[in-house]
Amino acid sequence: MQQEALKHRLDAHLHLQTIPWNSCFNDLPGRDLIKSFLVKGSQSICNGTSPLDWELVASLTKLYPEELVPFYGVHPWYVDALPENWLYNLESCLVDSHAGLGEIGLDRACSSKASFDHQQDVFTAQLDLAVSLNLPVSLHCVRSWGVLLEILQDKILIKIADDKYSRIPVMIHSFSGSLETMKQLIDIGVYISFSPYLLSLQAEILREVFKAVPLERILIESDFSYRKNISINNQIIDYKRNLKSLYNMAGSLRDMSPAYFQEVVYKNGKVFTDRAINR
Ligand SMILES: [Zn+2]
């Protein structure tokens, strides 16, 4: 059972493209380095953040098409430096590949020069694209829940028949909102992804929120990004340990064995990974 569960592990949100390849080659050859973040049969969603890293995401995910699912998008931190044709280029990335849209979102705490209005424009343009291409979406939201909920209410609907509507799959990554916000998001069909922050001492309230999320809407993620000044070998060890601890703690908070909980989350993630892959 343990063996089976390890084969089916989802990492719903990471940024493997942030590893600086050239300087890490001394530790491990490039392919082995990426492979050490993956488990055979597992799936991880690798999120782009701006036109500058989309090509890296594409080449990485082509190396491991079974284990890595590419998402392309413009993160709210990077909306101020976009080339004129960014939306056209984004559409080309999405149309030509089995991909989802992300990481996109809203962040009132971000120090970028761009105004919040501009963030919203870039965000809604990308959501419109996701709806027109029927893509799954990965969202970042900090101190902008009211605006986000308002936008999602009417922006993620797709028409499936004359008077029938469905919604594109949307996840909030590294959720840190309140119980009330979580419930409002659940009501409009959103999935809630939890990062290793759930393990921290300060996350007491968040753990209560986690316990109240409907099981079929829970996702789990590492939120991995390469950190300078820490050896890549130590980061690989941390990555594996954090994700394992997170699954263990999250499973026990839901009174489930880690192995069973891991299976449930993996299946939940299929809405995002299969939808991206099988288009
Ligand atoms: Zn991210």
Q: 178-193: per-residue pLDDT in tens?
A: 999 999 999 999 999 9
For residue 205, the CA-to-ligand 1 centroid distance in Å is 22
| Confidence bin at 5 (pLDDT 50/70/90) | very low
Domain assignments of the chain as residue spans, ordered by start = 7-277
* Predicted confidence band of residue 30 (pLDDT cuts 50, 70, 90): confident
Q: List helix spans (H) across the chain.
A: 2-7, 21-24, 30-35, 54-63, 86-95, 116-133, 145-155, 179-187, 204-212, 232-253, 258-277
In this model, does residue 2 exceed pLDDT 50?
no
pTM (2 decimals)?
Answer: 0.93
**Whole-number pLDDT of residue 159:** 83
pLDDT of residue 1: 44
The architecture (CATH level 2) of 7-277 comes to Alpha-Beta Barrel (3.20)
Q: 37 is written with which tokens?
A: 């973040």
For the cut 70, the answer to whether the pLDDT of residue 225 exceeds it is yes
Amino acid at 224: F
Residue 160 Cα to ligand 1 middle (Å): 31
- The tokens of 277 are what? 């892959």
pLDDT at 166 over 80: yes
Closest among 151, 199, 147 to 174, alpha carbons compared: 199
Residue 156 vs residue 113, higher pLDDT: 156
Ligand 1 centroid to residue 13 C-alpha, Å: 6
Question: Can you give the pLDDT at residue 163?
Answer: 84
Q: What is the mean pLDDT of the chain?
A: 91
Return the pLDDT at 161. 85
Residue 20 clears pLDDT 80, i.e. is over it: yes
Ligand 1 centre and the CA of 96: distance in Å? 23
